[in-house]
Amino acid sequence: AQSVTQLDSQVPVFEEAPVELRCNYSSSVSVYLFWYVQYPNQGLQLLLKYLSGSTLVKGINGFEAEFNKSQTSFHLRKPSVHISDTAEYFCAVSLNPGYQKVTFGTGTKLQVIP
Amino acid sequence: ETGVTQSPTHLIKTRGQQVTLRCSSQSGHNTVSWYQQALGQGPQFIFQYYREEENGRGNFPPRFSGLQFPNYSSELNVNALELDDSALYLCASSLAGMNEQFFGPGTRLTVL
């Protein structure tokens, strides 16, 4: 079975500073990786996904993530954060896009400080 | 294009009662998945429906059941509610074979 570990439960960062949210996964087979964002009292929105190909994936709102197979990581980065990026971010893994069970991490709360 | 909608937004029940949550999938999507998100946790997969049949289930007891209708909308039913069932219940729709799920805003269930 696959699992996802998000190492940081909360990450405070000053506005316009860079940020990295860490995600590690465990699986015995190839996986598909996702980052979702959840704003207060809302559902989840897909930021970006890695299925195959280039290991650097660009998503919406200026976010990007890099798939590292040897380190089983999929860290999310943004070079300059805005107040509006304050939200909870979830890393997720799926084994098979046809059977779409998605396993989520416990989330990282990004707090952007003015 | 209408997104995924869920009803009701909030719900309060007492232990032992039964509850039905509803989800309308995004236009054209034929697959619906349900997730439970407890406070401070990531979403946990409950089950998925495709063509009105259950197509995969997570580690949830049988008192969690569902339906999918010909128009692809779906219901989640929970019997014999327990305090630990208090959570945000998320519905996600997708097109079979595609890897992106679109989430609704969720239903906040409180069990007293």
Cβ pair B42:A97 closer than 8 A = no
Tokens of B74: 């779906």
Cβ pair B101:A97 closer than 8 A = no
Give A-chain residues touching B92 at CB under 8 angstroms: 44
Tokens of A38: 């959840």
B31 reaches A (C-beta below 8 A): yes
Phi-psi region of A61 (alpha: psi -120 to 50; beta: other; left: phi over 0): left
State yes or no: pLDDT of A98 exceeds 60: no
Mean pLDDT of chain B: 92
User: What average pLDDT score do residues A31-59 get?
Assistant: 90
Higher pLDDT, A91 or B101: A91
For residue B73, give how far its alpha carbon lies from the nearest alpha carbon of chain A (Å): 17
Could you report how far apart the first and last alpha carbons of chain A are, in Å? 41
Residue whose C-alpha is closest to residue A103's, from B93, B46, B78: B46
> What is the Cα B42 distance to its own chain's centre?
15
- Highest-pLDDT range among A28-32, A101-105, B62-66: B62-66
Q: Confirm if B66 and B73 have CB atoms less than 8 A apart.
A: no
B93 reaches A (C-beta below 8 A): no
Cβ pair B99:A43 closer than 8 A = no
Residue B22: pLDDT band with limits 50, 70, 90: very high
pLDDT value for A31? 84
pLDDT tens per residue, range B27-77: 888 899 999 999 989 999 999 999 899 988 999 999 999 999 998 999 999
Instruction: Examine residue B61 and say whether the peptide bond preceding it is cis (omega within 30 degrees of 0).
Output: no
